[in-house]
Amino acid sequence: MTVRETVAYPPTSAGRASSAPQTEAATLFATNTQQTLVADHAASPNSTQETLLAEGTGPASTTQETLVAGGQSGQGQTLGQTLGPTSLGPTRGHATVLPDVRSEGDRLIIVPRDQTRYENDKLLGRGGMGEVKLAHDHDIGRKVAVKRLLDDTNPHAVARFIDEVRTVGSLEHPNIVPIHDVGVDEDGSLFFVMKYVEGETLSSIIQKLAAGDAAYHKRYGFEARLDLFAGLLRALQYAHSQGLVHRDVKPENIMVGRYGEVVLMDWGIAHPMRSQEQLGRNLAALDRASTETVDGAVVGTPQYMSPEQASGQVAELDGRSDLYSAFVVLYELLTLVPYVKLEPTAMQTVLAAEERSLVAGLDPNFDNPHQAAVPIELRHFLRDGLAHAKDQRFAGALEAIETLEHVRGGDFAVCCPVTFMKANNTKMGRFMDRHPGGSMMFATMSALAFLGGLAGWVMWAIG
């Protein structure tokens, strides 16, 4: 399986040369790692960024890294050196505040304590700008996920981190992971605390389905997979209603919990929509620490970018861009094959996506030896969501949700002879449910007419 991380290009300003480390999540079993290219406009005219491709050490390992160089003054300092030791001391989010309560006979004794509130357990994932660890919250007594900024010498990384905190902290929705706390650890690194979703990524689920895992195919049939997709659409519907585009919808950023809950993660490169309709929305007007991404800058994961996102049309991005990415995810979830083949470089992957023809009903990927063929009505549903021209896609996530409900209920549009027969069978079944008596009478008369005709033919034949 391939773990795809977010990268950006063309150049952005940064402080010092650094390479993005390889992602390794506990729930993922990766042999190849693709890091996405990401760029903002330069804060200094002297800053440059070069994107290089480095081959991994293993024969099946390919790692794409972004190296940054710049001549901006003041770089190389840590966040602690920049803000000073006083402002980066332990915060109330870093130390426990609740005392221990002990009983001695009939007495209750309150014992103050002073310990680190969030005790790290294990690494869950690592990316170019941060790492996520499972931790134990000693105050509340629960597991949490703590995301820590790795490079606090890069002002742009700090700004993006702050934007992610403010963005996710302002989004309150069941399908979006909530933030509990923010602080600075003993090493002077920024961190924020999220709800720990106990489960696995959609990428891990797809990998096991593609390998033919019988238990996963039993658990995640087509209907269950559509439930997961509906959860993703609901998260996007809410974010878009708040004037935000996620820009990095992919299986690695979608968590599926123990009870089937779907959570869209990693809002680090979420961006406000610039359309006139969205300018007045609350979240689109949030004070952002990072600078605006200029037109021409490509940010996201190439395999899942919409055509307008891949061409750097930042000012034109709206919810339909995220919907395209979501349908790319759905294609992979249904067929167990990536919609766009991963190429050696991000630019080659972008070009392959541009040359990818629109999904057809007879696409051979719809037939997989590990599962039944993808239903024809879902193939047409995919085709509508993967249109290259955004005006030909669904207008919004709500329309996609409503269309999906109709498709699952058998009320889909007739697009070919197969959908004609399936739609009529559904209508006939509903008629029989509404009029069982009349249906039985009609069936009986039809059977008698058939038997009478058969008897007449036999008599004619023998005599």
Question: Catalytic residues, which ones?
Answer: 248
Say how many C-beta atoms besides its own lie within 10 A of residue 65's C-beta: 18
280 vs 276: CA distance, rounded Å: 8
* Three-state DSSP state, 191: strand
E-only strand ranges, 265-421: 271-272, 298-300
Q: Which two tokens stand for residue 320?
A: 């339909």
Say how many C-beta atoms besides its own lie within 10 A of residue 449's C-beta: 10
Report which secondary-structure segment, H or E, holds 442.
Answer: helix 436-462
* Helix count and strand count (H, E) for the chain: 12, 18
Residue type, 394: F
102 vs 107: CA distance, rounded Å: 8
Q: Are 313 and 321 a contacting pair, CB within 8 Å?
A: no
- Length of the chain (residues): 463
Rg (CA), the chain: 27
Which phi and psi angles does 390 have, rounded to 5°?
A: -65, -25
User: Please, what is the Cα angle at 168 between 167 and 173, to 5 degrees?
Assistant: 125
Residue type, 397: A
214 vs 196: CA distance, rounded Å: 28
Q: Which residue in 173, 308, 334 sits closest to 251, CA to CA?
A: 334
Say how many C-beta atoms besides its own lie within 10 A of residue 201's C-beta: 22
166 vs 184: CA distance, rounded Å: 16
147 is an annotated ligand-binding site residue: yes
Say how many C-beta atoms besides its own lie within 10 A of residue 154's C-beta: 23
Q: Which two tokens stand for residue 390?
A: 């955004």
Q: End-to-end CA distance of the chain: give it in Å, rounded.
A: 72
State the DSSP code for 47.
-
Full strand arrangement of the beta sheet holding 262-264: 199-201, 254-257, 262-264
Which alpha helices (H) appear in 171-221, and where do they start and end? Answer: 202-210, 214-219
106 vs 136: CA distance, rounded Å: 31
Say how many C-beta atoms besides its own lie within 10 A of residue 162's C-beta: 18
Q: Are 257 and 231 a contacting pair, CB within 8 Å?
A: no
Bind-site residues for ATP: 147
